[in-house]
Structure 1
Amino acid sequence: MEPPHAARRPRRPPQCCSRSSLTTAPPLGKTGMKQGSFVVLALYEVHMASAALMIDGIVVAATHEERFTRHKNEMGFPVHAARYCLQAAGVSPSEVDVVAILNHHFDQNGVANLLFKRMSRYSREDWLEENEKFWKPTLMEGRNVGRSYFHLMGGWSRVASDHHYDLSALNVDAAPDALAAVFNAMRRDAVRRLLDIPPERVRFLPHYMCHHHHAYYSGPLRGSGVAVIHAEGDGGEYNQAVSLPTPQGLRIVAGTRLFNLGRLYQWMTLMLGMSPYGHEYKVMGLAPYANDKEQARSLKVFERYFKTDTARMVIEFDQRPADMFYTFRDQLQTHRFDGIAGALQQVTEDRLVEWLAAVVAQTGCRKLAYGGGVAMNVKANLRLAALPEVERLFVPLSPADESNVFGAAYWLTEEHFLATGRAPDTIPALPHAYWGPDYTIAEARAALAAMDLSGFEVSENPEIDHIAALLAEGCVVGRCLGREEFGQRALGNRSILAHPGLPGTVDKINHQIKHRDFWMPFAPTILAECAGDYLDNPNGLDAPFMTIGFATTASGAQALSQALHPADRSARPQILEQQANPAYHALLTAFRARTGIGALLNTSFNLHGEPIVSSPADALRVFRLTELDAVWIEGHLVRRKRGA
């Protein structure tokens, strides 16, 4: 079987991935594009490197490099993801009008981050070592140990071999401007060498603004009554900002680069013994368990450092700490872990609530589109959505950095529409999340043929009602069907599914399948027609992507008990409309017919610490290594033989 980190070539996209099947316009020409179509290929190289392809404002394909290399949160030039997007769209390199690359330049630490694949490959020990060798002497002690951690953390001996850049001309110790220019030339060269697209078609874009374009254009909110906001760890010129739609496109009206709650969350994750840039969600999950007394004690430490400037619509320091790790570690040494997590979550929520109230008051806009890495905090989003000042809150698909490939493509399409006399607000909202690779039934058969099937039974062409019956009986089923969803959260096509109300399901999945932390909650997929029964959602907010938390009703708390946060009974739902994923919707409908529950427990189909499965071989490998009851791949259901 395929090992977890084996690289593989992109699969040939199936017929359903052709451009003509994903747009409403009739196909013209050999690639199915209308004459004069504007084609953007967007690339992101840092945390969870990704690619997306957009034609005239319509997303055609998008995926992540990790799904091919099998390294979680993969970094580097996303060559496999980019090639997939071109193949899936049927677009030749010559037909790409512009290649948008996120981050218009990198400094020495930025280059080191990429070449080390730091956010993907560092251990917790590495993060602590880097802090001790570079950040502590630089920020806390005022000692000069160099401009970067590059040499201190191993230099060239640590550079990954699979970043895809030609580094022959790189001098990492060059002056900052020279280093940025040379490395950008290498990025352009990677586009030429690996994708066969002329380097003059490359445009480097500021990071922060792409969050705004994704949050606005991928969602349903349009017009003068909408404010767009973002908050993140490091976005370049701004890491928190407010923009408004204008006749000339989105325009920033307020912002700061001193919003540091995102950075605080990262480094407190490390202080609590978990990995930054990967385990922040675990801290968020831990927070509701906090003892009130311990939380209040830790909150006193955090609160004095951050304030909301309501007039300027920003969150900045009230008292500036020397750094974001040692300053707080030293003050929290005798504090309990749960109190720290709870206080960190509370200060984040409290300041964000003040900020959104200020944005509404200052702009007069009660409809908000919200992006950036901090928008991944669904617990905070629950409070933001419930604010009386807020009429509508939209949080887009996977709003962290990986989705900036959508934002970059939307930004350049907005620019193109304005230049050609078209209204950018006619760009349609993102209809669903399923933009990644599919596979053929022949590939499913090949994966089965390569597997030792002793101890398993295989059924061909299983009926949906049969799968629903297994779930109703308490079986846990891995579903690997159709095009992959984009983002960090599984949304049905690469998911582990189970009965949401059957006692013992959480323990079974945690201990026998996922091997995850005991305090982490699961999430439900809920039929849109049932959402009102289970969720407290008086404003009828859209939540198709698991990006907003909700309180549950009494019936929801009972029916979805295994798919809620155990401490506060809140839900992080995927509210599923039939048109978004008809086959998945049909399964939930069949399960509802059997049980009366219009929802399923849904968690990502992967082993803890690995990317979500992509191919049928990936799915079968996870099946063999765990105690999943069954796996459903194209045309086949594989189950363990009873007693095996």
Structure 2
Amino acid sequence: MKILSIYPGHCSTVAYLKDGEIIDCISEEKFNNIKNSLSFPLKSIKWILKKNNLNINDFDKIGIVGKTTVFYDIRTSENNSFESVLNEKENLLKKIYRYIDVNLKFETKENILKKLQLKKYNKNFPRRKKYYFRKIMELLELKDENKLELIDHHECHAFGAYYGLKNNVNNALVFTLDGQGDFSCAKIYKVVDNQWTLLANTWWKYSIGELYSSVTKVMGMKPLEHEYKIMGLAAYSNKKYFQKAKKDIFEGLFWLEGLEFRSKIPSYAFSDYLSKKIPYHRFDNIAGALQDYLEELVIEWIKKAIKKTGIKNIYLGGGVFMNVKLNKKIQELPEVENVNFMPSCGDESTPIGGAYYLYNKYKSIPKPFKNIYFGISYTNDEIEEFIKSKKLENRFKVEFVQDIEKRIATLLSENKIVARFRDRCEWGARSLGNRAILGNPSRMETFFEINDRIKQRDFWMPFAPTILDKYAKLYLKNPKNIKAPYMITAFDSTELGREKFKAAMHQRDKTLRAQILEKEFNEKYYNLIEYFYELTGIGGVLNTSFNLHGYPLVATPEQALFTFENSNLEYLALENFLIIKKK
């Protein structure tokens, strides 16, 4: 069975599943080089078709993530602004909200609005669905409308986490938590012997994810992109003062009613509320207060669900779980026996869950993914042709290196910084070694060199390491032996870890957002780090994403060259070709 699954929203992405296994997954940003692109992923679809020698009509099912997607226009322009979409939505909701008597209690207003919104949705859905499907069929040149199916947003988050990471324990709790999607912002499912039961569903206007994004916005950063900066800043706050900020800004804002969140104001009013509160507190203490509040709420939510069901095997999906400090707290809970975080679990992960959902519905249980190198790759012949077409030998020193991993390891041991472009591009937000900028993690100078010469990130933001599994215990505190191949959680460091990975850890709290690498996950990258260990005695490297600030992770040789030429990188490894800037 062949399934194509499409997410046409923020960081639009497409996944291809064949006979229960994810074959490809790629975001449109890889083709138009616009980070978190909103464009309908037409180029991504065309790449999948060409790579697999398929026609759009060869698919048995084509899933569209999000049932409310039909109420939005199909954006085919590459010049799109996510901020304008957010502001438009927020202003519209405020207008609707103010039509209702302002003296009514918030919960009364919400009950009225909820009924009105669902009534309007149900009334207009058939017409909008028909129109949307017709537009999709025209755009894709699809002949059979019956192949199209809309899939609930949070079911995509849930199915992606569960089936993508499935272990041998039959009973599980699956948590989803994000800004919002299809009128929800948080759900809990119980899965027993592949039978799914919805335990809790939080209405989208009680959204913790929207709170985090609203703070990001009010503090002058980009919502749905810079939340990680708030998380990184939080550790620099003073506990005495962030507790004061927490009490003033956030106390009583949210609570749990059973297993569902409630808030005293609607999520689209957060920005106005925060604008009145935030000016009275320092920026780092606001970040610390928000992070502490998030952790407190989510931990209580998870513990209550485990206590109610007795199930300690948990899966987590949705953009809030991109927060690695929150994930660290979750994995350390004594109530949790097995924890599985969906990699790159923002909305770019939903097409994977959508494909799994359709396969599970119409065929059988899907197969977990072995890794997430789902993107574009190039042969040495293609790289050689690219080098010739760009006449790179006229500007740079170009070498063909048979054992390129050994050569890169040697350069790293000499304290050089190397950009690595190898095999299939990793899907998602994190570099997992194949589109990576690598450095010696034991030198603090490496941090400053990469940041000043290439990345230009905010001074408080840390880099992260890749550590070989057999050496991980030397550097990380991981008593539960949690596998971490996707850089989606963090660990406390050991004394040796703080010595050997000083450039690849959070400088304030000394935590590491480590990729713990097993050989079968990426053998070539594993061998590179093994060579580096032989030369230095350090079982890991600094690994940061191969891109310039504000751009997506590179996917193509053209993008790699652009990054190389527009930064102070000196070494670029394109497959087995090493390109060196002439001094």
Q: Give me the TM-score of the superposition, normalised by structure 1.
A: 0.82
- % same residue: 32
Q: Which residue of the other structure, out of 294, 315, 330, is the alignment partner of 2:261?
A: 315
Give the structure 2 partner of residue 457 of structure 1: 397
Q: 1:195 to 1:597 in 2, by over 3 A?
A: farther
Give the structure 1 partner of residue 115 of structure 2: none
Give the structure 1 partner of residue 127 of structure 2: 181
SS of corresponding position for 1:51: strand
In structure 2, C-alpha distance between the alignment counterparts of 1:115 and 1:473, rounded to whole Å: 47
Q: Does the 8 A contact of 2:133 with 2:148 survive in 1?
A: no
1:487 has 2:428 as partner: yes
Q: 1:184 to 1:326 in 2, by over 3 A?
A: farther
- After the TM superposition, which of the residue ranges 432-441 and 84-93 deviates more from structure 2? 84-93
Q: Which residue of the other structure, out of 19, 22, 33, is the alignment partner of 1:70?
A: 33
In structure 2, C-alpha distance between the alignment counterparts of 1:50 and 1:243, rounded to whole Å: 25
1:467 has 2:408 as partner: yes
Structure 2 residue identity aligned to 1:440: T
1:276-297 alpha-carbon deviations (Å, 9 max, x no partner): 1111111111111112233112
- Aligned positions of 1:83-102 closer than 5 A: 83-102=46-65
Give the structure 2 partner of residue 277 of structure 1: 224
1:584-620 alpha-carbon deviations (Å, 9 max, x no partner): 1111111111111111111111111111111112111
Q: Which residue of the other structure, out of 200, 208, 212, is the alignment partner of 1:265?
A: 212
Structure 2 residue identity aligned to 1:277: L
Structure 1 residue 363: deviation in Å? Answer: 1.1
SS of corresponding position for 2:298: helix
Q: Does the 8 A contact of 2:206 with 2:266 survive in 1?
A: no
Give the structure 2 partner of residue 613 of structure 1: 554
Q: Does the 8 A contact of 1:51 with 1:63 survive in 2?
A: yes
Q: Which residue of the other structure, out of 32, 45, 65, is the alignment partner of 1:82?
A: 45
Q: 1:462 to 1:499 in 2, by over 3 A?
A: farther
Q: Give me the TM-score of the superposition, normalised by structure 2.
A: 0.91
Give the structure 2 partner of residue 293 of structure 1: 240
- Aligned positions of 1:81-230 closer than 5 A: 81-106=44-69, 110-111=72-73, 121-122=81-82, 130=88, 134=92, 139=97, 177-178=123-124, 181-182=127-128, 185-194=131-140, 196=142, 198-230=144-176
Structure 1 residue 308: deviation in Å? Answer: 2.7
Q: 1:478 to 1:585 in 2, by over 3 A?
A: same
Q: Does the 8 A contact of 1:139 with 1:322 survive in 2?
A: no
Q: 1:276 to 1:115 in 2, by over 3 A?
A: farther
1:333 has 2:279 as partner: yes
1:43-79 alpha-carbon deviations (Å, 9 max, x no partner): 0000111111111211111111110111111113211
Structure 1 residue 428: deviation in Å? Answer: 2.6
In structure 2, C-alpha distance between the alignment counterparts of 1:334 and 1:626, rounded to whole Å: 39
SS of corresponding position for 2:373: coil
Which runs of no fewer than 5 residues in structure 2 stay unpaired?
Answer: 103-119
Q: Which residue of the other structure, out of 566, 573, 580, is the alignment partner of 2:521?
A: 580
Give the structure 2 partner of residue 529 of structure 1: 470
Q: 1:117 to 1:361 in 2, by over 3 A?
A: farther
Q: Does the 8 A contact of 2:13 with 2:348 survive in 1?
A: yes
Structure 1 residue 122: deviation in Å? Answer: 4.3
1:358-407 alpha-carbon deviations (Å, 9 max, x no partner): 11101111110000111111110000110111111110221111111110
1:496 has 2:437 as partner: yes
Q: 1:320 to 1:135 in 2, by over 3 A?
A: closer
Structure 1 residue 237: deviation in Å? Answer: 3.8
Q: 1:195 to 1:399 in 2, by over 3 A?
A: farther
Give the structure 2 partner of residue 431 of structure 1: 370
RMSD: 2.5
Q: Does the 8 A contact of 2:172 with 2:192 survive in 1?
A: no
SS of corresponding position for 1:352: helix
Structure 2 residue identity aligned to 1:303: E
SS of corresponding position for 1:232: strand
- Aligned positions of 1:544-559 closer than 5 A: 544-559=485-500
Structure 1 residue identity aligned to 2:382: E
1:153-212 alpha-carbon deviations (Å, 9 max, x no partner): xxxxxxxxxxxxxxxxxxxxx998547734653345334543545332110111111111
Q: Does the 8 A contact of 1:139 with 1:323 survive in 2?
A: no
SS of corresponding position for 2:184: coil
In structure 1, C-alpha distance between the alignment counterparts of 2:540 and 2:94, rounded to whole Å: 49
Corresponding residue pairs, total: 562
Structure 2 residue identity aligned to 1:100: G
Which runs of no fewer than 5 residues in structure 1 stay unpaired?
Answer: 1-37, 145-173
In structure 1, C-alpha distance between the alignment counterparts of 2:345 and 2:354, rounded to whole Å: 13
In structure 2, C-alpha distance between the alignment counterparts of 1:428 and 1:111, rounded to whole Å: 33
In structure 2, C-alpha distance between the alignment counterparts of 1:143 and 1:631, rounded to whole Å: 62
Give the structure 1 partner of residue 484 of structure 2: 543
Give the structure 2 partner of residue 44 of structure 1: 7
1:514-560 alpha-carbon deviations (Å, 9 max, x no partner): 11111111111111111121111111112111111111111111111
Q: Which residue of the other structure, out of 368, 377, 383, is the alignment partner of 1:444?
A: 383
Q: Does the 8 A contact of 1:479 with 1:493 survive in 2?
A: yes
Q: 1:529 to 1:317 in 2, by over 3 A?
A: same
In structure 1, C-alpha distance between the alignment counterparts of 2:352 and 2:86, rounded to whole Å: 34
Q: 1:127 to 1:495 in 2, by over 3 A?
A: same
SS of corresponding position for 1:382: helix
Q: Does the 8 A contact of 1:191 with 1:199 survive in 2?
A: yes
Give the structure 1 partner of residue 117 of structure 2: none
Q: Does the 8 A contact of 1:229 with 1:369 survive in 2?
A: yes
SS of corresponding position for 2:188: strand
Q: Does the 8 A contact of 2:2 with 2:59 survive in 1?
A: yes
Give the structure 1 partner of residue 348 of structure 2: 402
Give the structure 1 partner of residue 108 of structure 2: none
1:240 has 2:163 as partner: no
1:402-456 alpha-carbon deviations (Å, 9 max, x no partner): 1111101111111123xxxx5x2xx332100101111232331233231554552
Larger strand proportion of the pair: 2
Q: 1:467 to 1:135 in 2, by over 3 A?
A: same
Q: Does the 8 A contact of 1:137 with 1:143 survive in 2?
A: no
Q: 1:394 to 1:442 in 2, by over 3 A?
A: same
1:416 has 2:336 as partner: no
SS of corresponding position for 2:280: coil
Structure 2 residue identity aligned to 1:628: L
Q: Which residue of the other structure, out of 289, 298, 306, is the alignment partner of 1:343?
A: 289
Q: 1:444 to 1:482 in 2, by over 3 A?
A: same
Structure 2 residue identity aligned to 1:377: N
Q: 1:619 to 1:180 in 2, by over 3 A?
A: farther
In structure 1, C-alpha distance between the alignment counterparts of 2:100 and 2:77, rounded to whole Å: 26
